[in-house]
A and B are shown apart, each in its own frame.
Chain A
Amino acid sequence: MKGLAISLVTCVALLSGCSGGSGSEGTVIDTTLNNTSIDLSVSTVEAGTVTFAVTNEGDQVHEIEVFAGSNTVLPVDKNVANVSGLTLIDEIEDILPGGNVRLTLDLPAGDYIVICNLPGHYEMGMVTKLVVTG
């Protein structure tokens, strides 16, 4: 039962450690996932809180991964984009066809790439770029 107590404490600690101004979504970017593309409603936003309002309009499960980086042309290795060396900012996996999810992040100025890196999906064109200005 000791493990139980520790884990519950961990849960509460993680919960209270949540980042972000509660409820504030900042700049909302409509983000559409198709099987062959990721479309953002804007390609440039100001630094600060940014929310990707994601809709999966494809007929497959997709994911959204946001990496720091400016180059959308990544080496493809074993059917996935080789992202080693890139810093992952955050991700949401298992976005169902027709599903809507929201990913709120604090983004400093810089270049970012948004990809779905399920096997084969990057090669099909599921990548785009976001520029965050300071």
Chain B
Amino acid sequence: MLTTFVIGLREGLEAALIVGIVAAFLVRNGDRRALRAMWIGVALAVAACLGVALALNVAGQRLPLTARAAFEGILALVAVAGVTYMLVWMRQHGSAIHSDLEAKAESALAKSSMVALVGLAFLAVIREGIETAVFLFAILDGSSRVGAGITGAILGIAAASVLGYAIYRGGAKIDVARFFRVTGVVLVFVAAGLVAMAIHEFAEIGWITWGQSPAVDLTFIIAPGTVRASIATAFLGLQAVPTYAEILGWLAFVIPMTWYVLRPTTQRVPISVN
């Protein structure tokens, strides 16, 4: 049960982080309508994942490696673009948002930004969701310990959701500058992990052939099968033994973007309604 708990936590946490931060972000902007749209999107994504996994299960099929890896890799890159967009927006508007702006609601976030954020939450769920659902059905089919296995996996996903919810609650309360700073750094790491994962997926199907030797053994941080590893994987997005290409892609995102998010503001940007 611990085994499947850890897998559920690992698969759910990254999506929960993104959804939690997007939800807090929308609430901070007083955009309740967008928040509702986001939850509908997330529910649809979960339903779509279960539907696809169920259909595959009934057909006795798996997606071929090329389709699977291309799908996950490309969605990871789209999610990176979404997160980057969010970071830039937070950076440009963060220092200008005062709590009184929250009351002004709707005008704070342009419709296009809202759609992008809702889409990002949807993507975050659907990307890992299909594989997770396939994994859940595989336990139902094959494991000698079905009950405990399924319970563990669902508890793992639930624990991830609770963490996402905690971020949402915390994010909706703490002061806005700190919220943007903390979530900004978290998002930088999550997005860098998505870059590394995209490289990993593309390498599996031969789209990237450079730098494929193992670079470093991170099992001391990411010991497979532990709760700590699940959390580290969700935050860092790295394999236990990443390749040089994965490490390089990860660093190429983390270094400039951390600097971008944390560098002190030289001047206060006037409030501009985007």
Contact = CB atoms under 8 A, between A and B. Distances in A.
A33 to B, nearest CB: 13
A114 to B, nearest CB: 15
A119 B240 contact: yes
Interface in B51-96: 52, 55-56, 59-65, 67, 71, 75
Given A118-B224, A119-B224, A119-B241, A23 B60 contact: yes
A96 B205 CA distance: 25
B269 interface: no
B48 A78 contact: no
**Interface class of chain B by DSSP:** helix
Interface stretch (A7-15, A39-47, A125-133): A7-15
B44 A4 contact: yes
Interface residues of B, number: 53
Contact of A84 (B4, B59, B212, B241): B212
B126 A7 contact: yes
A61 B6 CA distance: 11
A99 B122 contact: no
B3 A97 contact: yes
Interface stretch (B23-31, B98-106, B179-187, B215-223): B215-223
A23 B58 CA distance: 10
B118 interface: yes
B215 A96 contact: no
Contacts of A118: 224, 240
Interface of A: 1-4, 7-8, 10-11, 14-15, 17-20, 22-23, 60-61, 77-80, 82-85, 87-92, 94, 96-101, 103-104, 118-120
Counting from the closest, the 9 A-B pairs by CB-CB distance are: A3-B119, A84-B212, A100-B142, A98-B144, A78-B217, A78-B214, A90-B65, A99-B143, A77-B214
Interface of B: 3-4, 7, 37, 41, 44-45, 48, 52, 55-56, 59-65, 67, 71, 75, 115, 118-119, 122-123, 126, 130, 135, 138-139, 141-145, 149, 204-206, 209, 212-217, 219, 224-225, 240-241, 243
